[in-house]
């Protein structure tokens, strides 16, 4: 199934949780995170980390995945209502890079059970080893050219 900007998922039908995330100045903002449906989750979460890796990943691909991810988030508007985030509304409600990274991380944690507290450290260690092996492979292939 192909998803695009016109694909509509009714968020109220998805499991959700409320979180408060502080911006760089310590000001809190309330968000409602929703579970990402299975096929969209597969598309987003299998590519998210690899496309974000410096000098190896693809920023534009990662940005597109982030735009898809944020459509499963609502933000509390000044009047107290919850508004669904979109790429067009992102900078109006998420005030800085640090807040955005925290929000993305909360979505990854909420949508994956293997990032619970016990497994997070082991997963990051494994990811680091995989990344180092990949970078070593790239380096050795360039030096043999």
pLDDT digits (tens, 9 = 90+) for 76-90: 999 999 999 999 999
Q: What are phi and psi of 17, to 5 degrees?
A: -145, 150
Same domain? 57 vs 121: no
121 and 73 share a domain?
A: no
19 and 40 in a single domain? The answer is yes
Pull the structure tokens for residue 41.
């989750």
Q: Is residue 55 part of a domain?
A: yes
- Say if residue 65 is in the same domain as residue 124: no
| pLDDT tens by residue, 27-69 | 999 999 999 998 899 999 888 888 888 777 888 999 999 999 9
Prediction pTM value? 0.73
For the beta sheet containing 16-22, the strands, ordered from the edge strand earlier in sequence to the opposite edge, are: 16-22, 28-34, 73-76, 82-84
What are the residue ranges of helices labelled H in 54-116? 59-70, 90-93, 97-111
**What pLDDT, on the 0 to 100 scale, is given for residue 70?**
95
User: Does residue 1 sit within a domain?
Assistant: no
Query: Would 35 be classed as within a structural domain?
Result: yes
Q: 137 and 106: one domain?
A: no
Q: What is the mean pLDDT of the chain?
A: 84
93 lies in the same domain as 26: yes
| Helix H or strand E encompassing 136 | helix 117-143
116: helix, strand or coil: coil
Same structural domain for residues 20 and 75? yes
Residues 101 and 133: their CA atoms lie apart, in Å, by 26
CA-nearest of 10, 8, 11 to 107 is: 11
Q: Tell me, yes or no, whether 29 and 91 share the same domain.
A: yes
15 has a pLDDT exceeding 90? yes
Asked, for residue 77, whether it belongs to a domain, the answer is: yes
pLDDT class for 3, splitting at 50, 70, 90?
A: very low
Q: Are residues 123 and 99 in the same domain?
A: no
126, part of any domain? yes
- How many structural domains comprise the chain? 2
What are the φ and ψ backbone dihedral angles of 78, each rounded to 5 degrees? Answer: -55, -30
- Judge whether 3 lies within some domain: no
- Domain assignment present for residue 43? The answer is yes
């Amino acid at each position: 199934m192909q998803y695009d900007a016109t694909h509509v998922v009714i968020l109220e039908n998805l499991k959700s949780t409320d979180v408060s995330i502080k911006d760089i100045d310590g000001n809190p903002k309330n968000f409602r995170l929703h579970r990402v449906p299975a096929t969209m989750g597969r598309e987003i979460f299998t590519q998210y980390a690899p496309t974000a890796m410096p000098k190896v990943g693809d920023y534009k691909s990662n940005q597109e995945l982030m735009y898809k991810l944020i459509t499963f988030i609502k933000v509390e508007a000044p009047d107290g209502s919850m508004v669904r985030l979109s790429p067009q509304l992102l900078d109006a409600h998420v005030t800085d890079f640090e807040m955005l990274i925290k929000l993305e991380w909360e979505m990854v944690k909420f949508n994956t059970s293997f990032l619970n507290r016990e497994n997070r450290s082991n997963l990051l260690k494994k990811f680091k080893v995989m990344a180092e092996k990949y970078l070593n492979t790239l380096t050795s292939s360039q030096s043999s050219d």
